[in-house]
Amino acid sequence: MHHPTLEPAPPTAGPALQQGLKGRQITMISIGGVIGAGLFVGSSTAVAAAGPAVLISFLLAAALVVLVMQMLGEMAVANPDTGSFSTYADRALGRWAGFSIGWLYWWFYILVIPIEAIAAGEVIAGLTSVPSWIPALAMIALLAGSNLLAVRNYGEFEYWFALLKVVAIVAFLVLGALAIFGVLPGSDARG
**Coil, helix or strand at residue 124:** helix
Where are the chain's structural domains? 38-80
Please give the pLDDT value at position 134. 94
If one counts every other C-beta atom within 10 angstroms of the C-beta of residue 97, the result is 16
Please give the pLDDT value at position 60. 93
**Coil, helix or strand at residue 35:** coil
What pLDDT, in 10s, does the model give residues 107-128? 888 888 888 888 888 888 888 9
What pLDDT, in 10s, does the model give residues 67-108? 988 988 888 888 887 778 888 888 889 999 999 999 998 888
Distance, CA of 64 to CA of 41 (rounded, Å): 22
Q: Is residue 177 within 8 Å of 165, Cβ to Cβ?
A: no
More confident residue, 85 or 40: 85
Please give the pLDDT value at position 95. 93
